[in-house]
Amino acid sequence: MKKNLTFTGILIVLIISLTIFSGCSEKKSIVKSDETKVQETVSAPAPAPAETTETATQENVSQPTETEIANEQSSLMEATAKSPISDIYFDFDSYSIHPDSREILKVNADYLLKHKVSSVVVEGHCDERGTAEYNMALGQRRAQETKKYLVNLGVNESIIKTISYGEERPLDPDNNEEAWAKNRRAHFVVNP
């Protein structure tokens, strides 16, 4: 009888301590299940307003003039116009070839098959939105998917090179959907 009582005593203490301890760990509020992950978004405690105006001392290191930038831009435009084969365009964060791009790629492949071409460089480009690093990878994938499509159309794989410029060489520097759509492209540089 005495033993039984001792046992009950121990059990009660254990249960109480367990409850208290598990009560403590609840603070971490870990929500976890295999199928659906619950993520609670907590806004920052003090999302202070816009940035303050305090700025570091500025030594402006040789700025490019407006005309320099404009010249660069127009030479990019010219290069695009000069290329004997047309660019194709992509959706945001996508590297799948559009149905209407397939027609363009057929024409491009035809040109490459019928002319003496030593090499063609497929450049992958992105719009300015999102991360420069991710866009560099996305541009590479756009170039590679385009290359694959040309190879499937019979173009010799060994003459096609790929390069990504990510978001670094926009055709249109504006910050709107019209400009972005122009910038999400694969461009072809043909070397005779």
Partner 1 sequence: MKKTCLFLFLTLFFCTLFIFSHGVDAKVYVDIDSPNFQQIPIAICDFYNKTASATKSENVGAIISDGIKKDLSLTGIFNILNNKSFLESNPSDAKESIRFSDWALIGADFLLQGIITQNDKGIAADGRLFDVARGETLFHKKYFSGIKDIKILSRKIASDILLTLTNDEGDFNTKITFVSKKGSKSDLYVINYDGSELKNVTNHQSILIAPRWSPDGNLIAFTSFKDGHPAVYIRNFKNGSEKKVASFDGLNMCGAFSPDNKKLLLTLSKDGNEEIYTLEIGNLKLKRLTNNYSIDVSPVWSPDGEKIAFVSNRAGSPQIYIMDSDGNNVRRITFEGKYNTSPAWSPRGGYIAYEGLVNDKYQIFSIDEEGNRIFQLTSDASNKESPSWSPSGRQIVYVSRKSSKSKICIMNSNGSNPRVLIENINKLVMPAWSPRLK
- Residues in the site for partner 1, rule: CB under 8 A? 2, 5-6, 9-10, 13, 16-17, 20, 29-32, 37-64, 68-69, 72, 93, 129-134, 136-138, 140-141, 144, 161-166, 168-169, 173, 175
Residues with Cβ within 8 Å of residue 149, at least 6 apart in sequence = 97, 102, 105
Closer of 89 and 165 to partner 1 (Cβ) = 165
Q: How far is the CB of 25 from partner 1 (least distance, A)?
A: 11
| 15 alpha-carbon distance from chain centroid | 53
Q: How far is the CB of 93 from partner 1 (least distance, A)?
A: 7
Which of 126, 117, 99, 129 lies closest to 187, judged by CA? 126
Q: How far is 78 from 106, CA to CA, in rounded Å?
A: 23
Q: How far is the CB of 152 from partner 1 (least distance, A)?
A: 15
Closer of 92 and 106 to partner 1 (Cβ) = 92
Residue 133 corresponds to which tokens in the numbers above? 């690093």
Q: How far is the CB of 185 from partner 1 (least distance, A)?
A: 16
Q: How far is 84 from 192, CA to CA, in rounded Å?
A: 11
Residues with Cβ within 8 Å of residue 131, at least 6 apart in sequence = none
Closer of 25 and 116 to partner 1 (Cβ) = 25
DSSP conformational letter for 148? H
Closer of 16 and 77 to partner 1 (Cβ) = 16
Q: How far is 165 from 136, CA to CA, in rounded Å?
A: 6
- How deeply is 154 buried, as exposed, middle or buried, from its count of CB atoms within 10 A (0-12, 13-18, 19+)? exposed
Q: How far is the CB of 139 from partner 1 (least distance, A)?
A: 8
Closer of 22 and 41 to partner 1 (Cβ) = 41
